[in-house]
Amino acid sequence: MPSWKGQSRGTVLGYKIFVFTLKHLGLSFAYFILLFVAFYFFLFSKSSSREIYFYFREIHKFSVIKSIVGVYRNYYSFGQVLLDKFAILGGLKGKFTYNFDGEHHLQQMANEKTGGIIINAHMGSFETAGQLLERINTRINLIVLDAEHKQIKNYTSDVLANKGVNVISIQSDFSHIIPVSNALINKELIAIAGDRFINDSKAYKVDFMGKKALFPSGPFYLAARFGVPVTFAFAMKESKTHYHFYATAPIYIPKIDNKDEQEKILLEYVEKYVKEFEKMVKKYPYQWFNYYPFWEKN
Amino acid sequence: METQEIISKINNFLIDEFELEESQLQPAASLKETLEIDSLDYVDLVVIIEKNFGFKVKGEDFAGIKTLQDFYDYIIKHAKSN
């Protein structure tokens, strides 16, 4: 089963068009332009469309027509959350409303200075939850794949840095482990996606939506090694300007000296995460932005 | 700490913590391919280095470490200047 190959969707030009449109013409107009941009991806991004179609048709068991429409809706939703992210980072956050399930869990981690790991997914827009992160008033380290185009990353990193968010890129030589470890030693919060991994990193095969798929064990081992709590969190778009944030109660993962025993425990916690993730995928099927083969295929 | 003492200390924790055989610890051995140090082991390495040699590892330093000899050299350089 392939791991993430490293190309995020979109180009710098695309992002520039989004930012320009947002600044000068507003969010509604940007959504209108997005109708055509999403259609372009729907027509020409064959490999990613194939994977999204598989997800709707084989995993959700949607009809052929509903699956084809689902591919378009998925691209459109992805564009919307990107636009929202840039709108919020650009200072338009007042236009958005939020409701929070479990905010107090993050608040508790921040107040007690335990540090911790927030495991999210490529669903909805966790970065949009920056609104929440400002409310809990603590430094957060956002772990991202290095593949995102450097200029895009520089743009988002600069804006996020002003909001107390430190961006750490995942590297193929594992050197990202060091700033991540140091952040946890300093009892800071780490936010990382639990639904993607790079080559050579350890992953477990788990039942996800009825088929086997690989999930990384790294975030769970970090929590066990540094004795910090873990919460599973998702920020989902529910209407044009409304997001719903979910966070589960923090859990601690035991650290065991015996490697085999430790792996069994990690697998147990990966399965807990996958169960939460599955709930979200079922509730918000169009907001999981995965464009590569995720499941074992027959 | 003398060079030989540092190397013995490194070898000891690789044997104890990563269940490696002494015969595997060849200077030219690749950390990833030959010694099979995986992503989770890197987390342990960071903690063990800080505990045993008293310095904080920096990401950019660690990026160039491919073989066990590179790893020895890195620790020797930093442990001696600490």
- Tens of pLDDT, residue by residue, chain A (298 residues): 445 444 455 566 666 676 777 778 888 888 998 999 899 999 988 999 999 999 999 999 999 999 999 999 999 999 999 888 878 776 666 778 888 898 888 888 888 889 999 999 999 987 776 666 667 777 788 888 765 545 556 666 555 655 667 888 887 777 788 888 888 988 899 999 999 877 667 889 999 999 999 999 999 999 999 999 999 999 999 998 899 999 999 999 999 888 889 999 999 999 999 999 999 999 999 999 998 899 976 6
* Domain with A151 in it: 12-287
For B38, which DSSP code?
A: -
Residue numbers in A near B63 (CB within 8 A)? 171, 173, 175
Domain count of the fold of chain A:
1
Asked whether residue A138 is domain-assigned, the answer is yes
State the best of A145, A176, A178 to mutate against chain B, taking most chain B CBs within 10 Å. Answer: A178
Q: How many CB pairs under 8 A join A and B?
A: 48
Asked whether residue A85 is domain-assigned, the answer is yes
Asked whether residue A175 is domain-assigned, the answer is yes
Domain count of the fold of chain B:
1
What pLDDT is attached to residue A169?
82
Instruction: Report yes or no: A57 and A295 within 8 Å, Cβ to Cβ.
Output: no
Asked whether residue A269 is domain-assigned, the answer is yes
Does the pTM of the predicted model rise above 0.90? no
Q: How far is CA A283 from the centre of its chain?
A: 16
Q: Going by C-beta distance under 8 Å and a sequence separation of 6 or more, which residues neighbour residue A167? A: A141, A142, A144, A153, A156, A157, A160, A161
Of A171, A222, A259, the CB nearest to B43: A222
What pLDDT is attached to residue A235?
92
Instruction: Report yes or no: A121 and A81 within 8 Å, Cβ to Cβ.
Output: no
Tokens in use for A246? 């979910």
What pLDDT is attached to residue A284?
97
Asked whether residue A265 is domain-assigned, the answer is yes
Asked whether residue A185 is domain-assigned, the answer is yes
Asked whether residue A298 is domain-assigned, the answer is no
| B58 close to A (CB below 8 A) | yes
Which residue in chain B is spatially nearest to A177 when comparing CA positions? B43
What pLDDT is attached to residue A33?
87
* Domain with B46 in it: 3-81
Q: What is the mean pLDDT of residues B26-46?
A: 84
| A182 close to B (CB below 8 A) | yes
How close, in Å, is residue B35 to chain A by CA atoms?
13
Tokens in use for A36? 């055509």
| Sheet with A97-101, side-by-side order of all strands | A97-101, A242-247, A230-239, A116-120, A189-193, A140-145, A165-170
State the best of B42, B45, B65, B66 to mutate against chain A, taking most chain A CBs within 10 Å. Answer: B42
What pLDDT is attached to residue A4?
44
Which residue in chain B is spatially nearest to A255 when comparing CA positions? B44
